[in-house]
A and B are shown apart, each in its own frame.
Chain A
Amino acid sequence: AQKVTQAQTEISVVEKEDVTLDCVYETRDTTYYLFWYKQPPSGELVFLIRRNSFDEQNEISGRYSWNFQKSTSSFNFTITASQVVDSAVYFCALRRDTGTASKLTFGTGTRLQVTL
């Protein structure tokens, strides 16, 4: 069975602080895909990144960076110099490499509150 754990339920930071959101996953598959989605107050989930299990290179996109470590089954997400607009619920998700549809197993989410 697959499982995604986001142990941090809620994080509060002051603007310009760096913050890391943790994601730990469980799977017996050798090939799988990991995702991060953002859910702003408007409610609609927005795709941030997709990573496959063979690509352990860290990725940086502007203020966002992702650290994928197979040895610890983690796919952590860091926001550098956080801004109020980063306030949202962030979900980590996992997909098996079976079938063609993108059936995701989501974590329970981490609510990030960025204040001035």
Chain B
Amino acid sequence: NAGVTQTPKFRVLKTGQSMTLLCAQDMNHEYMYWYRQDPGMGLRLIHYSVGEGTTAKGEVPDGYNVSRLKKQNFLLGLESAAPSQTSVYFCASSSRTVKSEKLFFGSGTQLSVL
């Protein structure tokens, strides 16, 4: 009963380094999302996907790229990390069915960029 799994849980990067955050869901959900959570700002949508092979920009997409090659996976990439990308990153998924329009969240990835 895994739900949404994010790896890694913690990571420290140096400015300019790259990394990929992996999100996997086992609920056969069509939609997947990446949010970042910063103190005093709530959660903000970075990118999202409505299906395999499709992605779209959210509210704060700059500096990030995403890919959804498989329905169950949604990858978030940082090509050249900056200190402003220090944040907690949450992946979420949801079903296409309107009545069950709740997001299922992963436990988060704490990223520090030095």
The residues of A with any CB-CB pair to B shorter than 8 Å are: 4, 33, 35, 37, 42-47, 50, 91, 100-109
Question: Which of chain A's residues have a CB closer than 8 A to the CB of B31?
Answer: 100-102
Judge whether A102 and B101 touch: CB under 8 Å.
yes
Chain A residues closer than 8 Å to B33, beta-carbon distance: 101-103
User: What secondary structure prevails in chain A residues at the interface with B?
Assistant: loop
Name the residue on A nearest B99 (C-beta).
Answer: A50
Q: How large is the interface on B (under 10, 10 to 19, 20 to 34, 35 or more residues)?
A: 20 to 34
A103's contact among B40, B45, B88, B96, by CB below 8 Å, is which?
A: B45
Q: Which residues of B contact A106 (CB under 8 A)?
A: 35, 42-44
Specify the chain A residue showing the minimal Cβ separation from B95: A102
- Select A91's contact among B43, B48, B106, beta carbons within 8 Å: B43
List B residues at the A interface (Cβ < 8 Å): 31, 33, 35, 40-45, 48, 50, 56, 58-59, 88, 90, 92, 94, 96, 101-108
Is the pair B42, A101 in contact by a Cβ cutoff of 8 Å?
A: no
Inter-chain contacts of A103 with B (CB < 8 A): 33, 45, 48, 58
The answer to whether B50 and A45 touch across the interface, beta carbons within 8 angstroms, is no
**Does the CB pair A43–B108 fall under 8 Å?**
yes
B103 touches A33 (CB 8 A): no
Having A4-B42, A102-B103, one finds 10 other A-B pairs with CB under 8 Å, namely A42-B107, A43-B107, A45-B92, A50-B102, A91-B43, A100-B50, A101-B48, A101-B56, A106-B35, A106-B44
- Chain B residues lying within 8 Å of A44, measured Cβ to Cβ, are 105-108
**Which of B42, B56, B58, B107 interacts with A107 by CB under 8 Å?**
B42
| Contact status B42-A100, CB under 8 Å | no
